[in-house]
Amino acid sequence: MCLSLCRSWFYSFEGIGLSDRIHEMLDRYLESIKEVMPRGVDEGEFHETLNVDAAAFTFLGMIQSTATIWALNGYIWYLDQWRNQILEIYKKGVAAPQQVLA
């Protein structure tokens, strides 16, 4: 269902030339995120089996949906109140397991 909704949304911009620009912009964001994530794996911040593509896509979706909801609500609340909570939830999903010292 989501695929057909997403596809119809995407094609609705095609006639006005936005689909290519939106696609290019989102691709640039996604590639930037993908470039940074391996460093987190190398430094032990993210787990070593992290699927960087999936993690980057999830991160971008998290940011994009937050910004969209914020805009649709007329920018009436401060992003600061959610920023740390959202980031902590995401980090717990990608974090490397903590080793317990005996």
Span 33-48, pLDDT tens digits: 999 999 999 999 888 9
Which residue did the predictor score with more confidence, 75 or 14?
Answer: 75
Instruction: Indicate the residue type of 59.
Output: F
Res. 88: pLDDT tops 80: yes
Q: How many CB atoms lie within 10 A of CB 94?
A: 19
CA angle 23/26/29 to nearest 5° reads 150
Q: What are phi and psi of 4, to 5 degrees?
A: -70, -35
pLDDT, average across residues 63-75: 89
Which has the closest alpha carbon to 86: 72, 68, 71, 65?
Answer: 65
Res. 14: pLDDT tops 70: no
User: How sure is the predictor about 2, in pLDDT bands with cuts at 50, 70 and 90?
Assistant: very low
Res. 18: pLDDT tops 60: yes
SS3 at position 46: strand
User: Is residue 37 a contact partner of residue 50, using CB atoms and an 8 Å limit?
Assistant: yes
* pTM for the model: 0.70
